[in-house]
Amino acid sequence: MNSALTAPPDRHPTRLRRSVLTVPAVNQRALGKIAELDCDAVIFDLEDSVAPEKKAEARQNLKTFLSQADLSWRERIVRVNGVDSPYFHEDMALVIALSPDAVLLPKVEVPGSVHTAADLLSEADAMESLRIWAMIETPLGVLNGAAIASCGRTSNSRLDALVVGLNDLRKATAIPAEPGRTYLVPYLMQVVLAARAYGLDVVDSVFNDFQDFGGFETECAQGRSMGFDGKMLIHPSQIAAANMRFGPTGSEVLHAHTVVRAFADPAHAHLNVINIEGQMIERLHAAEAERVLGKAASIEARRDTKP
């Protein structure tokens, strides 16, 4: 594939990825409930949650479901098996046939995995809107995070987002699952930094105890503070908290309106720094304010279109 690097991009157009629910493609009952849920995106899993002897059944379930389901505004992502697995090419053939919004590659450790998937999509003339997400869930993946994220600047790579997978990373590093994720924070921040350096979105890892609502909300707040766009979820009960924690607050929206209006004022046309309510606000903050308002508008539009 063409590996030429393009100019550094701005962040991708605003798209809500606050709540990214993962559903085993083999579980027909779970698939049937998706249309009722308020998640921003759904990952249809063909990998870890599907036993080897059930892979073909899961692919058929997903083919039947997506050919019939109306998921309206939800982003549809298919998590395939790894590029080195015996199931990868059959999974990718299904992705090409179904044309979801994105394919999620698990356990990405080198840029070549992204390029392999991108080449298959290009050879099949898949629509440019079919993007690639990469899971960073191994020590080598974290160490190579910047190199992997740099695919976001490579022409035809389709890379759109990174997703952290802590269960595998904990296992590989022998770091226990403790509240606060203290000893995992450096790795999490490394992935966020890599994503932002190359204009990608970045999604935080799952929280395994879906009955611990307090712990989940705390971890969502931490992820938001770290700079994540949203969180990967394992249960529908986690959706509302993720949407709340990763969405803009009322005060953030009001401040964003103030910043945008201030820089739109003709009197400030030649100023790069403005005093707003006692704070020195730079013009670069106006772009971030526009992103906040874009997210708020998307959330409001969704409320208006729900039955």
- Domain hosting 265: range is 250-305
> Per the domain annotation, does 4 fall within a domain?
no
User: What average pLDDT score do residues 148-168 get?
Assistant: 93
Task: Examine the fold and report which residue of 231, 246, 261 is the final residue of a domain before the chain moves on.
Answer: 246
* Length in residues, the chain: 307
Residues 143 and 207 in one domain: yes
How many structural domains compose the chain? Answer: 2
Residues 30 and 99 in one domain: yes
Residues 161 and 219 in one domain: yes
pLDDT band of 305, cuts 50, 70, 90? low
Residues 176 and 274 in one domain: no
Residues 150 and 263 in one domain: no
> Per the domain annotation, does 12 fall within a domain?
no
Phi, psi dihedral angles at 23 (to 5 degrees): -130, 125
pLDDT score, position 11: 46
Residues 195 and 265 in one domain: no
Per residue in 177-236, pLDDT (tens digit) is 999 999 999 999 999 999 999 999 999 999 999 999 999 999 999 999 999 999 999 999
- Tell me the whole-structure pTM to 2 decimals: 0.90
pLDDT band of 276, cuts 50, 70, 90? confident
Residues 168 and 43 in one domain: yes
Task: Examine the fold and report which residue of 246, 267, 292 is the final residue of a domain before the chain moves on.
Answer: 246
Strand 230-233 relative to strand 273-276: parallel, antiparallel, unpaired?
A: unpaired
Residues 203 and 273 in one domain: no
Per residue in 104-132, pLDDT (tens digit) is 999 999 999 999 999 999 999 999 999 99
